[in-house]
Amino acid sequence: MPTRRRPARLFAGFCTVLLAVGSAALSQSTENKQVTSQVVASDDSDFARAVKEWTTRPEFSSPLVDHLPKAHGIPSPKDVLGHHIGEPKKLTYYADILKYYRALAAATPRVKVLPIGTSNEGRELVVVFVGADESIENLETYRGYLAQLADPRKLADAQARDIVAKAKPIYHLSGGLHSGEVGPSEMLMELAYRVAVEDSPLVKQIRDNVIVSITPVADPDGRDRNVDWYYKYGINETEGRTTGAGVPYWGKYVFHDDNRDINYSQVEMRALLDWYLQWHPPIMHDLHQSQTLLYTFSGQAPQNPNLDPILYAELPMMANFEMAQLTKYGMPGVWTHGYVDMWSPGYLAFMSSNHNGMIRMYEIQGFSGANTQKLRLGNPNAPGGRGTGAQPDAAAITAGRSNQAQREWYRPWPATGEFDWSLRNNTNYGETGVLTALQYTSQFPKVILENFYVKSRNSIETGRREAVAGYVIPAGQRDQTRVAVLVNMLRMQGIEVGKATADLKLKEGSFAAGSYVVKRDQPYARLAKILLEKQVYPDATTRTYDDASWTMGLMTQTDVKEIADKAILDAAVEPVAEVRLTGSVTGSGSLFAVAHTGSNNMITLRARLKDVKVQAAEKEFKQGDATFPAGSFAVSGDAARVRSAIEPLGLTAVALPRPPGVPMHDVNLPRLAVYSTWSGTQDVGWVRYAFDKFEIAYDLIYKEQVRRGDLKSRYDVIVVPHQVGTAKRLVFDIDSRGTPIAYKKSDQFKYLGMYGESDDITGGMGLEGVAEFDKFVKAGGVLVTLGASSFLPAEFGLTPKVDAARTSAQFYSPGAIIDAEILQPDSPIFYGYDRKMIPARWANGPLLTIQTGANPFTDNPPPGPPPTPQSVLMRYPGGDDHVLSGLMRGANEIRNRPAIVDQASGKGRVILFAGNPCYRWQNFGEFNLLFNTILNWDDIGTAAAATTTTAAR
Ligand SMILES: [Zn+2]
């Protein structure tokens, strides 16, 4: 165990002594460059003094960051921002961060700023490169080398060795993915400056051997909103969040889930992926702050076994090097293992591991603002969630409820006791860690590159060797639009997909020409397998940090066949760039039938044709040899108009000579609202995102609008997305601590008050809000509750016959995909579904029960299982046999529990979904359950709500 006396003192003067040597080397190496002004004059004494003052204990700094060189003509962060990095009570807005990097790039040939896209709110997204003059001048050449190593099919091993000898690894660093984790985006500015100008042997080695690339702020919209919130509220707080509330939004749609965006729905994440596939950095390192004092990720179990074993050896190697170095510098509290696992491929930096590189991650001690605050690490022997994958929240850490003060084999020198923690401490830890990671990389650049190459090569060879040789997505599936979504999501990630040019005869069966084929002998075959296969836990006793499963064929409810027959590798295919469906309209006239085969685009079609008459057929009908299932539209309108709406949506329409002879009802778009608490905006955000993408018009409402009352005069349908976990929180939301907390725009705080505003976000809708929901329903409104929000109608009396319970403490299932059984197939909610059993994602919502009217105290129940009321439209069969992918411990607990319940109330109804049919842009196959509910809101009325029962099926 290291001594508490700071051994780093031994290195005093380390950097200044070697400065002269470095400078000499620099002027030689830049002799022939246009810009040679990069002469380091001396260390900045003002910086050293300030950093010493802001660092709350000597051991919270290191010899790597306690000084900063001055370089003539090259602006330090203070020269542009007006303060050194890490000054208490100073946070930088995104525009100023960009301003700094641009000023730095303008002053030195060692820095380049590359625009890569635009955020949801219009902020420019960039990647900043830092390296030796020569590296930056020849960036394109180095990009080319990495691209070659990334696809070894075109390389002999000898050529690869040549390229490795010439290439340099790109090490990508990313800050600000989570807007409340403010420190790294500040630190990275100082790091960029230091790597560009410092001439210590260490930094010079980094600069020469590695190309550093930086995402300054991964979610810049959220950054600005969080900085606004900090200056409005946080700056005056002395002990954490005394206001009791954080800013209601980071990005436009999501908070932390930008790190769970497995399908890259958010434009910021997509821009980085597109950049990644151009540049192939072998390492991507995300900088977070939620652990004490610095956690460095090494990929604990459960690990996805599809990834290369080299990766699992590399991860702890680098983490252990950092842990040893920082401990040597005298910095306590550096640890690895015991936090995040390697199961879900959806974390942002996983884009690197998914493509044969390496994900890295830090969690650095910090706060959501820049105040210096007391940290209480409490009893080192307290029990806690270590090794469980559970996520201790910042409040728990601050309150000392976490046991990160405890020594473990993976935490040889914990921080203990009570001390002040400052933004500069966070900078010191983060920057020392990153410089150490870069030290490692610059010491072994060829090893990093070789490994990247070999992992890429292994991916292809493993694919040729292993039992699964590929996947076929058969042609002729009912709904082509979800097939297109699936194929395009694979293509977006760089996975090669081919279209069979002839019929395929494989051991698994025959597949028609036009089927999509994913072969395993390709560089990104591992990712294809990870995304397409059924998830089976290597060890069912482990827990995961995030989702248990994501199998894309199940999530999209498309048919994907796993193929063992190696003949698939030789199948003749033409490469698919992107699937662009063009729908078809046949015949002419003024009435068109549009088949509802489960496309999510049906609701978009209705929205685009909102001024024309659209009816839904309540039974299947035929026209010529085409069959139109129940739910198909009959659209009145001229052919040109219908064609322009149908074709881009990939739907098919056929002209009808006369109305189909089956019962029909009007498809009326409701006046729609989406209800959000002020603390649960992220889960609501995913529903908003889906509605926006499918062009579903809605109002986003909060307690303010609900309490105003008279909801029925404004809305026909109110959707309450899954959010906040319990009915009580849904009703009472953020605790009031006496002082109103406003979320409003002002001249000073321009980024607050977006996506809704409030004079006081605390207090929730309260019981008067519940009463307004009840009045809305009784007056004819349709209230739709999703996932955990379905506790609300059951527990607050909106649906007196429905009870809601929770699974036991032994039950564990972070989002398994399970069977759901449709019990009332004639309900409009199931239009487009042609199977009785469909895959559904388990959302840890309520276990619902419907009271059947029998009084258990006085009535003798009839023998056999109780009948299932007609109001249960869908249910979970439960049991292990019905778990399709991922893990569900205690699957019997959900046996025959209702999945969708329809309850009439007054003139309206409440429709409770126990699951979440609109989850993180993933379960496209379930979206239609919600979309159908919205489209047919005034025609769902069946006998369902009556108390009559039918025998269980
Ligand atoms: Zn984070």
Compute, in angstroms, the gap from residue 97 CA to the centroid of ligand 1.
19
Q: Compute the Cα dihedral for 193, 194, 195, 198 and give only its sign.
A: positive
Question: Which residue in this structure is represented by tokens 């009791």?
Answer: 244
Express each pLDDT in 460-515 by its tens digit. Answer: 999 999 999 999 999 999 999 999 999 999 999 999 999 999 999 999 999 999 99
CA of 177 relative to ligand 1 center, distance in Å: 7
CB-based contact 294:426 (threshold 8 Å)? no
The Å distance, Cα 292 to ligand 1 centre, comes to 13
pLDDT band at 856 (very low <50, low <70, confident <90, very high): low
pLDDT digits (tens, 9 = 90+) for 532-574: 999 998 888 888 999 999 999 999 999 999 999 999 999 999 9
Distance 516 CA to ligand 1 centre (A): 37
C-alpha 287 to ligand 1 mean position (Å) = 7
| 113 C-alpha to ligand 1 centroid (Å) | 24
Assess whether pLDDT exceeds 80 at residue 599: yes
Cis peptide before 823 (omega within 30 of 0): no
DSSP-assigned letters across all residues of 208-238 = HH-EEEEES-SSHHHHHHHHHHHHHTGGG-S
Say if residue 32's pLDDT is above 50: no
The rounded Å distance from CA 896 to ligand 1 centre is 38
Asked if the model's pLDDT at residue 751 lies above 90, the reply is: yes
- pLDDT of residue 387 exceeding 80: no
How far away, in angstroms, is 135 Cα from ligand 1 center?
A: 31
**What is the average pLDDT across 684-700?**
98
Name the pLDDT band for 338 (thresholds 50, 70, 90): confident
User: Could you tell me which residues come within 8 angstroms of residue 934 by beta carbon, excluding any fewer than 6 positions away?
Assistant: 603, 669, 670, 672, 696, 717, 719, 784
Mean per-residue pLDDT for 276-297?
A: 97
C-alpha 288 – ligand 1 centre gap (Å): 4
Q: Are 501 and 515 in contact (CB under 8 A)?
A: no
Give residue 295 CA to ligand 1 midpoint distance, Å: 12
**CA of residue 220 to ligand 1 center, whole Å:** 14
Mean pLDDT of 366-393: 64
d(CA 561, ligand 1 centre) in Å: 36
The pLDDT assigned to 747 comes to 97
* CA 392 to ligand 1 centroid distance, Å: 12
Write out the E strands in 826-915: 837-841, 847-850, 868-869, 872-876, 883-885, 897-905, 908-913
Ligand 1 geometric centre to CA of 363 (Å): 7
How remote is the CA of residue 261 from the centroid of ligand 1, in Å? 13
What separation in Å is there between the alpha carbon of 840 and the centre of ligand 1?
A: 28
Question: How far is ligand 1, taken at its centre, from the CA of residue 659, in Å?
Answer: 56
Q: How far is the CA of 234 from the centre of ligand 1 (A)?
A: 19
**Stretch among 12-26, 388-402, 750-764 having the lowest mean pLDDT:** 12-26
Ligand 1 center from residue 810 Cα (angstroms): 28
- Give the Å distance between the CA of 34 and the centre of ligand 1: 41
Q: Which two tokens stand for residue 213?
A: 């690339």
Spatial separation of the C-alpha atoms in residues 517 and 411, rounded to whole Å: 47
Distances in Å between the Cα of 274 and the Cα atoms of 278, 279, 286, 321, 647 are 7, 9, 17, 31, 28
Phi-psi region of 27 (alpha: psi -120 to 50; beta: other; left: phi over 0): alpha
- Please give the distance, rounded to the nearest whole angstrom, from the Cα atom of residue 258 to the centre of ligand 1: 10
Tell how far the Cα of 839 is from the centroid of ligand 1, in angstroms.
31
List the structure tokens of 274: 């597109």
Q: Strand pairing partners for 125?
A: 117
Amino acid at 813: S
Nearest to 389 by CA among 335, 341, 350, 344: 341
Question: Distance, CA 183 to ligand 1 centroid (Å)?
Answer: 11
**Ligand 1 centroid to 86 CA: how many Å?**
19
| Mean pLDDT (whole number) for 16-38 | 39
Q: How many CB atoms lie within 10 A of CB 512?
A: 12
What's the whole-model pTM score? 0.93
Residues 862-912 pLDDT 10s: 666 677 899 999 999 999 999 999 999 999 999 999 999 999 999 999 999
The alpha carbon of 790 and the centre of ligand 1 are apart by a number of angstroms equal to: 29
Sign of CA dihedral 21, 26, 31, 36: negative
What is the pLDDT at residue 639? 87
- The mean predicted confidence, pLDDT, of the chain is 91
Task: Answer for the pair 937, 716: CB distance below 8 angstroms, yes or no.
Answer: yes
Q: What is residue 241's predicted lDDT score, i.e. its pLDDT?
A: 56
Ligand 1 center–CA 877 separation, angstroms: 37
- pLDDT at 39 (0 to 100): 64
pLDDT value, residue 347: 96
Q: How much distance in Å is there from the Cα of 910 to the middle of ligand 1? A: 37
- Which residues, by Cβ under 5 Å, contact ligand 1, an ion? 178, 181, 288
- Taking the centre of ligand 1 as the mean of its atom positions, its distance from the CA of residue 289, in whole angstroms, is 6
Ligand 1 centre to CA of 291 (Å) is: 10
Q: How far is CA 187 from the centre of its chain?
A: 24
Gap from CA of 178 to ligand 1 centroid (Å): 5
- At residue 940, does pLDDT exceed 80? yes
- Output the CA 179–ligand 1 centroid distance in Å: 8
Q: From ligand 1's centre to the CA of 116, what distance in Å?
A: 22
Q: How far is the CA of 361 from the centre of ligand 1 (A)?
A: 9
Distance 453 CA to ligand 1 centre (A): 30
Q: How far is the CA of 254 from the centre of ligand 1 (A)?
A: 13
- Identify the pLDDT of residue 574: 98
Q: State the burial class of residue 45 (Cβ atoms within 10 Å of its Cβ: 0-12, 13-18, 19+).
A: exposed
| 182 compared with 542, residue with greater pLDDT | 182
Mean pLDDT of 763-772: 98
Centre of ligand 1 to C-alpha 180, Å, is: 8
| Å from CA of 282 to ligand 1 middle | 21
Q: How confident is the model at residue 859 (pLDDT cuts 50, 70, 90)?
A: low
| Predicted confidence (pLDDT) per residue in 62-107, tens digit | 999 999 999 999 999 999 999 999 999 999 999 999 999 999 999 9
Please give the distance, rounded to the nearest whole angstrom, from the Cα atom of residue 346 to the centre of ligand 1. 14
852: confidence class by pLDDT, cuts 50, 70, 90: confident
Of residues 382 and 575, which shows the higher confidence score? 575
* 650-670: average pLDDT: 95
Distance 219 CA to ligand 1 centre (A): 11
Cα(290) to ligand 1 centroid in Å equals: 7
Is the pLDDT reported for residue 22 higher than 50?
Answer: no
Tokens 């990247």 locate to: 452
The predicted model gives 164-187 an average pLDDT of: 98
SS3 content of the chain, % helix, strand, coil (to 5): 35, 20, 45
Cα 450 to ligand 1 centre (Å)? 30
> How remote is the CA of residue 175 from the centroid of ligand 1, in Å?
9
Least confident span in 28-37, 215-224, 553-562, 611-620: 28-37
Quote the CA–CA distance of 454 and 448 in Å, as a whole number. Answer: 10
Helix axes 201-209, 14-29, angle to 10 degrees: 40
- Centre of ligand 1 to C-alpha 165, Å, is 36
96 C-alpha vs ligand 1 centroid, how far in Å? Answer: 22
953: number of Cβ within 10 Å: 10
120 CA to centre of ligand 1 in angstroms: 20
Three-state SS annotation for 326-375:
HHHCCCCCEEECCCCEECCCCCCCHHHHHCCCEEEEEEECCCCCCCCEEE
- pLDDT higher than threshold 80 for residue 798: yes
C-alpha–C-alpha distance, residues 721 and 755, integer Å? 16
pLDDT tens readout for residues 102-146: 999 999 999 999 999 999 999 999 999 999 999 999 999 999 999
What is the average pLDDT across 572-583? Answer: 96
Confidence bin at 368 (pLDDT 50/70/90): confident
Pairing of strands 334-336, 294-296: parallel
Nearest Cα to Cα of residue 402 among 411, 389, 410, 393: 393
**d(CA 255, ligand 1 centre) in Å:** 10
Report the separation in Å between the CA atom of 526 and the middle of ligand 1, taken as the mean of its atom positions: 26
Q: Cα of 497 to ligand 1 centre, how many Å? A: 33
Distance from Cα 394 to the centre of ligand 1, integer Å: 11
* Ligand 1 mean position, distance from CA 169 (Å): 25
